Amino acid sequence: KGVRIDRGWSQGDLARESGVSRKLINELEGGRAETRLANVLSILAALDLRMTAEPAAQKSKLDELLSRMKPDG
């Protein structure tokens, strides 16, 4: 929403640029909708943004330490 507003676009403007409905934009911004990935990618492209994926968080240092410890024999 912030990027859309920073560009001076209405929800209707973003809907037209991305090829999705204004209703969907409204519902997504309000946290009330689920949609297909293709719609999300279209919206991001219209805003000149991209989505990236990163590996899940690494184990914490404590988890690593604990996994290395061996029980006393």
Q: What is the DSSP letter of 20?
A: S
Instruction: Give the angle 17-43-1 at the CA atoms, nearest 5°.
Output: 100
Q: What is the pLDDT of residue 72?
A: 61
Query: How large is the angle between the packed helices 22-29 and 11-18, nearest 10 degrees?
Result: 120
The values of phi and psi at residue 71, to 5°, are -65, 145
Per-residue pLDDT, averaged over 1-18, amounts to: 97
Collapsing DSSP states into helix, strand and coil, what is residue 31? coil
pLDDT tens per residue, range 17-70: 999 999 999 999 999 999 999 999 999 999 999 999 887 777 677 777 777 786
Q: What is the pLDDT of residue 16?
A: 98
Residue with tokens 């090829």: 19
Q: What is the pLDDT of residue 70?
A: 66
